[in-house]
Each structure stands twice: as structure tokens, then as C-alpha cells.
Amino acid sequence: MANLAGTPADLIDCPDCGTLQRIPARWGWTVLLCKRCTGVLERTNLRSFDASLALSIAALLLMVPSLSLTFLTTSISGATRSSLLGSSAVAMIEDGWPVLGIIIFLFTVIAPLLRYSLLSLVLGLLRLDAHPHWLGRAFRFANALQTWAMTDVYLLGLAVAYMRLKASLNVQMGAGAKCLIVVGVLSLFIRAVLDKEEVWRAIGLGRAARSGRGEPANAMPLANGNSPITCLGCDLVVIASSEGHNCPRCDKTLHRRKPDSIARAVALTTAGILLYIPANVYPIATLPIGFSSVKYTVIEGVIDLAKARLWGLALLVLTASFAIPLLKLVGLAWCLVSVAARSVWRLPLKTRVFRGIEEIGRWSMIDPFVISCFVPVTHYNALIYGRAEPAAPAFTAVVILTIIATKCFDPRLMWDVKGKAS
């Protein structure tokens, strides 16, 4: 295995403000903060390579019973309905919402399976000191899937759906749902213990050894007066002349800043703002309450939870479905206006707002996940049934568009206006 511990001091470019700084040789567990914007540069506390590997394999193995065993069962007047994790997508497609069904399936089944498979493979190969040429690309893809593998978010959707179903029907959580709960908790632990920098260094050292150089790809001296650039896929700092070429560690094309960042983020945010209106005006779902089914908008769903005295869930859905999408759109617009107006006002605050938006964005998927839990176990008759309504795809589109807009926006552009740090 490549030398994972005690690697030499290296350069790091702050992903928030673009300030190049030297990482000291580290000992013990620590958190390194950017000297300019005070964002977290690198965190090594609570990180563990072997724990990441073990947790990834455990999550991957538990996906099998999560998918194959009964998820939810409901019963009313002697009739029962059962679901599997994948049933939601099928039921939504049958109800006439194919895109929504496919998106739910991608976020709850395909993305987690791919992420845990790739993580287990990459970490396992590094542990065996094997360095195939595609290792960097595979790890970059596994990291990109972190946003889209939404098992953790799905757990909250499941909790809300379970409490709501319980108010109207007999409902039981099957072994499949219990296994998925464990997968969701494991996914949070994986995020906490996986030291991406450590893995990237091991991949870089392995590549260097394979190419016969014996030193990492970025060990070459930096040319005078030519500020280096940072790979957007793996944070490797490379010489400026590498721009436009592939990263020697993760194979992503190297750019100084995210390409077409502002144009893409403006287009996606505008589309998100336009879709936010139908997402809140039209009903998002029909859900069975008592012995009839009722159509709900996002806000009516919150009011219904409050009426049932489920205050915590009402606050959760209000925050995730109404406040977070609105805050994301307003926050993104603020950052975009900041770049357009070349404003240097409150840059650290704007950067923190952007990082917050990036972190919480995916949690807005709770409401579509609640609906997806409901649909396959509430198809009883013409009076008692659950299904998605027109606002559901619009709402899901707002969540996805804002997540992609955040990924397209480069916060360093806000700091570029201010010029180089002194």
C-alpha cells in the first residue's frame, strides 16, 4: 500500500476563495482553516481509511436486503398492500409520472448502489496496493455521487410517510425498510470518516509509481509569475500550463475556474425560480386521510401535519419543502448578483451562505420521497388512494435545478473581484 500517513507538506487552493496556501505536515487529528475566508480547507479529525472501507462494504451489502425484502405494508378492513423499495418508481410510472418515478429510482437505488460499489472498489484496491489507471476517475465519480445518493434524505421522507400513514391506516415497516435505515445511517458515517485528501494522495502516489516518476504529479516546481491552477475534480494543484489538459490524478479536464459558471448558474437559477411558483401553487399529492383522499399543496400538507399535532414533522416539512428551496434561490441570486456587480461587501458571509446552500440543498427532496413511500401502499380503491399531482415534478425539478446551479457556480469568482490576498 502507498504511504497514506505522513505525506509531505503540499499546496492547497481554497475551494471557496481561491487562495493558494501551504498545508503544514500534519500530526494527529486536526481541522485546517483557510487563512483568508476561514472556510474549512481540510479536516483530518475523525477520519479513518479502514473504517471508510468497512462502512462502504457494509452499506453495499445491506442494499441487497433493502431492495429485496418488504418495505412497507398497510392494511385496512382486511385488505393489505405491500411495497418494495423499487415499487415507488413503478407505481409512479403507472400513475402517469414516468420522469418522477425514474428520478426517485435513480436517487434511492442506482446512485447509492453505484457510490458504495465504487467506494468499496477504490478503497479495497488501495488497501491491496493495486493502482489500475482508472482508479482516480472511479473515485471522482464516487465523490460526485455523494450528492445524488439520497438514502439519508430518504430516511426522513420515510419517517414522515410512516407517521402520516399511521394516522389513517395500519402500517408496518418491513425488514427492507429497516435495512435501508441502517444504510442511511452508515452513509452519514461514511461522509464523516472518509478522508478524501488521504485517498487522493494515495491515488497520486500510485500513479506516479506506475509512470516511473516515483513522485506525485504536482511535485514539480511552480514557474515564477505563473499562478498554479487547481483541479476541480480532486483539488490537485498543478502548474498553469496544464490548463486544458487532463488532470494527472483524476483525469478531469483542468480549468482555472468552472467553465461558463455564471451563464449556467443564472440559467438554472432562473428556471428554478419560474418552477418554484407552480411547485407551490398546484397540489403536490393526493393522500388518504381517514376514509377519503385529499389533494394537498406543499403548505396544505404542513397545515395538515400541524392539525394532527405532529409539530416536529410539520416544522421539518415546512423547512425542507418551503423554506430551503426559497433560501437556495435567494442565496444563489445574491451570489450571482455579487459577481455581476463586482461587489466585495461581506464576502466571507456570502461564501458561508453559498456553502450552506450547497450542503442543505438535497434535503428538500423529503416531500417527493414522502409521496414515493405513500403511493405503492395506498392504492386501495377510488376513495382511498395516494398519488403524485402536478406540483410534484415541478417541485423535484426545482430541487435538481438548484443543486446543479450550485455545482456550476464557482464561489472563487466572488473573491476574484477583490484580487489576490495580500
Residues that bind Zn ion (CB under 5 A): 14, 16-17, 34, 36-37, 39, 231, 233-234, 236, 247, 249-250
Q: CA–CA separation, 244 vs 254, rounded Å?
A: 5
Q: CA–CA separation, 256 vs 286, rounded Å?
A: 48
Signed CA dihedral, 123, 126, 127, 128: sign only: positive
For residue 79, which amino acid is it?
A
Cβ-based nearer residue to Zn ion, 228 or 233: 233
For residue 187, what is its C-alpha cell? 452513509
Cβ-based nearer residue to Zn ion, 250 or 298: 250
Least distance to Zn ion from the beta carbon of 416, Å?
12
Least distance to Zn ion from the beta carbon of 238, Å?
8
Least distance to Zn ion from the beta carbon of 26, Å?
18
Cβ-based nearer residue to Zn ion, 164 or 207: 207
Report CA dihedral (241, 247, 253, 255) to the nearest 10 degrees.
Answer: -50
Residue 194 exposed, middle or buried by CB count within 10 Å (0-12, 13-18, 19+):
buried
Least distance to Zn ion from the beta carbon of 37, Å?
3
Which of 59, 164, 169, 64 has the alpha carbon at shortest distance from 120?
A: 59
Cβ-based nearer residue to Zn ion, 113 or 234: 234
Cβ-based nearer residue to Zn ion, 21 or 44: 21
- Helix (H), strand (E) counts: the chain: 16, 12
Cβ-based nearer residue to Zn ion, 16 or 389: 16
Q: CA–CA separation, 188 vs 366, rounded Å?
A: 16
- Residues contacting 63, CB < 8 A, separation 6+: 112, 113, 116, 183
Q: How many CB atoms are located within 10 Å of the residue 224 CB?
A: 5
Q: CA–CA separation, 182 vs 188, rounded Å?
A: 10
Least distance to Zn ion from the beta carbon of 124, Å?
21
Cβ-based nearer residue to Zn ion, 316 or 413: 413
Least distance to Zn ion from the beta carbon of 247, Å?
3
Least distance to Zn ion from the beta carbon of 58, Å?
28
Least distance to Zn ion from the beta carbon of 229, Å?
11
Cβ-based nearer residue to Zn ion, 37 or 279: 37
DSSP-derived secondary structure for 195-252: -HHHHHHHHHHHHHHHHT--S-TT-SPPPTT---EE-TTT--EE-GGGTTSBPTTT-P
Q: CA–CA separation, 368 vs 284, rounded Å?
A: 9
